[in-house]
Amino acid sequence: MLYLDHAATTPMRPEARAAMAPFLADVFGNPSGLHGVARTAKNALEDARERAAGILGAAHPLEIVFTGGGTEADNLAVVGAALAEGGGVVTAATEHEAVLESAAFLTRIGRDTRVVGVDGAGRVDVQNVIDSVDDATAVVSVMAANNETGVVQPVAKLATAVHGERPGVVVHTDAVQAFVSEDVTVGDLGVDLLSLAAHKFGGPKGIGLLYVRNGVDLEPVIHGGGQELGRRSGTQNVAGIVGMVAAMEAATEGRDEFRSRVRAERDVFESRLTGAIPDVVVNAPSDARLVQHSHVRIPGVPAETLLIRLDQRGVAASAGSACQSGAIEPSHVLTAMGIGSEDARHCVRFSFGWTTPRGAGSDAAGAVIETVGALR
């Protein structure tokens, strides 16, 4: 199988598996306990928290809140900040469903929600966001990079502008896709809240984190025993947490090599594809997107049909977000970019990852070219 759906999930890194192994067997304690078995788990948990804080440039380890994944982290950031501050949210039309559905929930309970449009490349205009923020706004949420197209948003510029115009408004970014290939630190981005999901960069599924700048109040969205300083109740998944942080370290240490290798494969893929199929459209500019994403439209070839045929040839890709319950429907991201529903049904995402072998770009392009030729 030539796997080119790393934006949906990527294989677990060996460093993560090795880190998790003891906590799946003998080191099984509940970190909330007082005895030695529990303290061993607690020590591992807090060590992981310190290392995660260091990678993200957090001022203090307790600014890291461990969650059950990126979706939960987004919910806690958007809903938690809005409820704590008594306001609503401003976000972008191309956000992940975790953010957009959180905003929709806030609308249902009477909070002000404003969704800002994007340009044809899928990027928000900072001034448009600022113009949408008012006294009813508690949080602005704009993702660092889009999960479908890979388009990078001007988050640092946006955070500076929001804090300058509205010092009381907190800024959140979903950095789930960006962390895979970009240097992500809260200082450089200037954000108050930042979400990550482990399984996108080689950690286990079902674990994530939310960076919460000291002084930012959150109303918890999961209630219980008050773990994570009361911000996220529930017994911590120690095995998942140590696996995630090991994967964070491996991804950070190998980032330069990853970017160079993956960009080369992606560029070869697109070069071969556009050379053989002149009407192929790449849906995002190469200078403003993640190196691992290639989102293309092939006119006259339905995405569903192409994906089935490619799967039969041993090539795995997708039609967009992996969070749409398997249904191939016109993407809200593409609709927001001004791509019509019919054209959107002819779009496919190819996403490269840390296990992508050399030559994969050329091999994948060859498979797509042959398959499109047969279908046409």
Q: Which residues are designated catalytic?
A: 323
Q: What is the pLDDT of residues 316-335, one digit of tens each?
A: 999 865 555 455 578 999 99
- The mean pLDDT of 189-212, rounded to a whole number, is 98
The confidence band for 287, taking pLDDT boundaries of 50, 70 and 90, is confident
Q: Residue range 99-127: average pLDDT?
A: 97
> What confidence score (pLDDT) does residue 188 get?
97
Mean pLDDT for all residues in the chain: 95
Q: What are phi and psi of 3, to 5 degrees?
A: -90, 115
**For the structural domain made of 2-9+255-375, what CATH number should be given?**
3.90.1150.10
The whole-number average pLDDT for the span 347-353 is 97
Q: Where are the domains of the chain?
A: 2-9+255-375, 14-253
Fold for 14-253, please state it: Aspartate Aminotransferase; domain 2 (3.40.640)
Determine the pLDDT at residue 325.
Answer: 46
Vertex 153 angle, CA 133 and 182, to 5°: 135
365-369's contacts with Cβ under 8 Å and 24+ in sequence apart are 365/268, 365/269, 365/270, 365/271, 365/272, 365/273, 365/276, 366/272, 367/2, 367/310, 367/313, 367/314, 367/315, 368/273, 368/298, 368/306, 368/310, 368/315, 369/272, 369/273, 369/276, 369/277
The answer to whether 181 and 292 have CB atoms below 8 angstroms apart is yes
- Across the range 336-361, mean pLDDT stands at 95
Tell me how far apart the alpha carbons of residues 67 and 80 are, in angstroms, rounded to a whole number.
Answer: 13
Predicted confidence at residue 346, as pLDDT, reads: 94
pTM of the model as a whole:
0.96
User: Would the CATH topology of 2-9+255-375 be identical to that of 14-253?
Assistant: no
pLDDT of residue 327: 53
pLDDT tens for each residue of 25-80: 999 999 999 999 999 999 999 999 999 999 999 999 999 999 999 999 999 999 99
Q: Is the C-alpha dihedral spanning 77, 83, 87, 93 positive or negative?
A: positive
What would the mean pLDDT of 96-117 be, rounded to a whole number? 97
What's residue 67's pLDDT?
98
| % pLDDT > 70, the chain | 97
Q: Mean pLDDT across the stretch 144-158? A: 98
Among 355, 250, 352, 363, CA closest to 291: 352
